Amino acid sequence: MSVDQASAACTGGDGSQTTVIQWVVDTRTLWTEAAQTKDLSRVASRALDLLTESEKGEVLRFYFVKDAKLKLVSILLKRYVISRFCEGVAWDEAKAVPDARTKPVFIMPDGSEPLLFNLTHQAGLVVLLAVHRPTPGLAVGVDLVCQPERRERDLRTITGQGWAHYVDMHDGMLSPGEMRALKALPFPDTDRRLAYFYSIWCLREAYVKMTGEALLAKWLRDLDMRGFAPPQEQAGKQLEIFLHGEKVQGVDMKLEPYLDEYMIGTAVRRDENGKGIELGEYVSLDIDAVLTAGEKSRRGES
């Protein structure tokens, strides 16, 4: 699939075109011959050849091959989106660096930031949300959760120690109001309760990633989301965000199902003029297209 097919564009008031990119790569189907991480050196040699020695080391240090594949694809996607959308930037120059808050960014030599991007991965999937030519003040965050991945562990804890204990285990990561709301859910079905838990977790992660502070934020317990629900139960409910007791304005949040097992949460801070972006569907990206683009960029081909 081409990059243009995986993008949505809109024109701003100044005539510039802002492009929204939403990609997903399923690593579970990639390099399946690799039984151990070290096998990737052989099985995924084409992909690894597009990385620096330092990046290769980051990939191959993972004990589990599934985690190594997630890291490998995450690095590839960042280089791909930067080299594809940032004019004059070749593959080897398309390297994200941490900003002052450790959020990965790409800064052009002139100091401009023509591309905003955020990645998340879990249970075999890597998701990228990016905005090319963002308007001033815009910010994005994305998170992915897979409730079935931890279901056995969750059920074991809840069965042995109760739902209230399970919620209390996440004290410090949730607000007091969110914890009360989870404990007060008026139905006994554990999987349904867990769907609410993972919904608020995903939304919060997307929000804090949008701010650039991620889980290092010192205000996590002061962030309170009200009216949260899993995608299939959002009808008639309105999500509201409060920080330090004040209602947050100018942030658009979305929680949507993906495949049968995942939820993707997005947070978009509107620009200085109060304008956000229009999200579309996440598009499954062909990893071979990514590798081919990287190889062509290295050879100086368009």
Segment 66-77, tens digit of pLDDT = 999 999 999 999
Taking the CA of residue 50 as centre, how many other CA atoms within 13 Å lie in the half-sphere pointing to its CB? Answer: 29
Residue of 263, 142, 260, 259 lying closest to 195 (CA atoms) = 263
Task: Please say if the pLDDT value at position 15 is more than 70.
Answer: no
Own/partner pairs for 48-57, CB < 8 Å, 24+ apart? 48/72, 50/76, 50/79, 50/91, 50/291, 50/294, 50/295, 50/298, 51/75, 51/76, 52/95
Question: Tens digits of per-residue pLDDT, 203-230?
Answer: 999 999 999 886 667 888 999 999 999 9
9 or 72, which is more confident: 72
Q: DSSP for 252-297?
A: EEEEEEETTTEEEEEEEE--TTS--------EEPPHHHHHHHHHHH
With cut-offs at 50, 70 and 90, classify the pLDDT of residue 121.
very high
With cut-offs at 50, 70 and 90, classify the pLDDT of residue 278.
very high
Spell out the residues 6+ positions from residue 250 whose beta carbon is closer than 8 angstroms to its own.
Answer: 269, 270, 274
Task: Please say if the pLDDT value at position 166 is more than 80.
Answer: yes
Tell me how many helices (H) and strands (E) the chain has.
9, 13
With cut-offs at 50, 70 and 90, classify the pLDDT of residue 3.
very low
Residues 11, 296: contact at Cβ < 8 Å?
Answer: no
Task: Please say if the pLDDT value at position 101 is more than 80.
Answer: no
DSSP-derived pairing of the beta strands 283-284 and 17-26: parallel
Per-residue pLDDT at 181: 98
Per-residue pLDDT at 299: 84
CA–chain centroid gap for 119, Å, is 4
**Average pLDDT, integer, range 136-150:** 96
Compute the CA torsion angle 158, 161, 163, 166 (nearest 10 deg).
-80
Grouping H, G, I as helix, E, B as strand and the rest as coil, residue 213 is coil
Task: Please say if the pLDDT value at position 4 is more than 90.
Answer: no
Per-residue pLDDT at 214: 66
C-alpha pair distances (Å), 2 with each of 40, 94, 282, 292: 26, 19, 14, 12
Task: Please say if the pLDDT value at position 38 is more than 50.
Answer: yes
Residues 127, 23: contact at Cβ < 8 Å?
Answer: yes
Per-residue pLDDT at 100: 74
Question: Tens digits of per-residue pLDDT, 172-204?
Answer: 899 999 999 999 999 999 999 999 999 999 999
Task: Please say if the pLDDT value at position 14 is more than 90.
Answer: no
Grouping H, G, I as helix, E, B as strand and the rest as coil, residue 69 is helix
Residue 288 burial (CB count, 10 A): 11
Per-residue pLDDT at 1: 39
Task: Please say if the pLDDT value at position 12 is more than 80.
Answer: no
Residue of 136, 76, 138, 124 lying closest to 287 (CA atoms) = 76
**Average pLDDT, integer, range 131-138:** 96
